Amino acid sequence: MRAFIASTIGVTCAAALAVPLVLPLGTGSAVAASAPRTAATTTEASGIQSLPLEPLAPAARSADGGGEVGLPARETEPFSLLGVVWADAAEELHGEAEVRTRALDGEWSGWQPLETHTDHAPDRNTAEAAAGALRGGTAPLWVGASDAVEVRVWPEDGTAPVTGLPEGLSLELIDPDTGVDAAVAVDAAGTSVATADRGATPATGVSGVSGDGAQSAPAAYPGPRPPITTRAGWGADESLRESAFAYTDMVKTVFVHHTAGGNNYSCAEAPAIIRGIYRYHVQSQGWRDVGYNFFVDKCGTIYEGRAGGVDRAVQGAHTAGFNHNSMGVALLGSHGSSAPTKEALNAVSQLSAWKLGLSGINPKSSRNRTSMGGGLYAKGVTVKMANISGHRDGFATECPGEQLYAQLPAIRSTAAGFQGR
């Protein structure tokens, strides 16, 4: 299915027409008086507009005034989340990317940076990666309801021609409400807070995966099960993902992340943000499902992420090299300079206590983990990791941000308390 989606997007984008219109682009600094409106590409069918990037006029940001690609300011169909993707998932974007968007009220944002990384990804030796449809991508950015955009990307060495950028760069604009029931779109956060258990069919041919991922809590230190908003609760379109599930043996490590998508959201918008990330991971990047196992918003609501059963050891795509026997939980927002809320920290602690408790694991302890490669450590390297670690402990990244990473000792202690230790 991923290959079909990718090819459909590619064919549709190739056939897209840029229709020149003279249209006002609203208020904001340095706004062009007119700009083209980009014809819809795949909006009706998939909720995604995929716009190939093109060379831009020479810019002072580049060392020699060249090497920049992007899109001039233009109107689009409505979207709320965006990211930049490229053809080869194994290739890094050695450069910088910035976007600005126009809200529906006509106000333009300032330039916002996109986190250029490939550290949230399926492990390279898995069937998910071997399918051949994966694309590299920046972290998705939530911008709220918008109808115009401008983007610029330039290589870190400022070369011209653009030798420092990967091939096949395109801007993905995502409408998370496409195909979603109106009631779910409006009030998903208040529905289907349940167990999220389901019968599951293990994926076949997945390297490093065995059994059905079932875990049963030992008598000692099980940890209480927190309320979890199911995929149905946040409005997941289950036709997008692969139907089978991939499991590992047990959850030995919890990796804490932030989505790096900005903090300017309301908790009522959290389900839409998750739907947008889901579409971005599956349709834009070619993953089997959303990468994280769980999400937590700033109000402390926990959301089911990758499908397969919240009480099972579902293999995610969140910490390259260590997706096996682990769980990835992502706080919605950016926590480099902004501290996470007490509600979010408490939710992460309770979720970690429960998931690690199912495997009889102490949140305050550590263990040796062997890398599958593709991250901070080469394949086969064994490293001692805390049972609740940050993304940066397994990959060369700033994630989960300084402010959240500094809270990991407190999260471990609180999680141990939830287990009665």
Q: Check residue 121 and give its pLDDT.
A: 60
User: Which of 28 and 289 is assigned the larger pLDDT?
Assistant: 289
What amino acid occupies position 228?
I
- How far apart are the C-alpha atoms of 384 and 370, rounded to whole Å? 9
Q: Check residue 278 and give its pLDDT.
A: 97
Write out pLDDT tens, residues 202-239: 443 333 334 566 665 555 788 999 999 999 999 999 99
pLDDT at 45 over 80: no
User: Which of 193 and 97 is assigned the larger pLDDT?
Assistant: 97
pLDDT at 24 over 60: no
**For residues 266-279, average pLDDT:** 96
- How far apart are the C-alpha atoms of 190 and 179, rounded to whole Å? 19
Share of the chain above pLDDT 90, in %: 57
pLDDT at 320 over 90: no
Q: Check residue 213 and give its pLDDT.
A: 62
Flag the least confident range among 42-46, 278-282, 320-324, 356-360: 42-46
Q: How sure is the predictor about 11, in pLDDT bands with cuts at 50, 70 and 90?
A: very low
Per the structure block, which two tokens stand in for 197?
Answer: 């258990």
pLDDT at 125 over 90: no
Q: How sure is the predictor about 63, in pLDDT bands with cuts at 50, 70 and 90?
A: low
Instruction: Using the structure block, give the residue that is written with the tokens 């499908």.
Output: 307
Per the structure block, which two tokens stand in for 349?
Answer: 């602690």
Q: 293 near 327, Cβ under 8 Å?
A: yes
DSSP secondary structure code for residue 377 in this structure: S
User: Which of 219 and 10 is assigned the larger pLDDT?
Assistant: 219
Q: Check residue 62 and give its pLDDT.
A: 54
DSSP 115-167: -----SS--TTSHHHHTS---EEPPPEEEEEEEEEEEEEEETT--SS--SS-S
pLDDT at 131 over 70: no
Q: 93 near 165, Cβ under 8 Å?
A: yes
Q: Give start and end residues of each alpha helix (H) in 164-269.
A: 182-187, 231-234
Q: Check residue 206 and give its pLDDT.
A: 39
Share of the chain above pLDDT 70, in %: 72
Establish whether the linkage from the previous residue to 161 is cis, with ω within 30° of 0.
yes
Q: Check residue 184 and give its pLDDT.
A: 56
pTM for the structure as a whole: 0.83
Per the structure block, which two tokens stand in for 306?
Answer: 């990758």
Q: 70 near 152, Cβ under 8 Å?
A: yes
Q: Check residue 127 and give its pLDDT.
A: 65
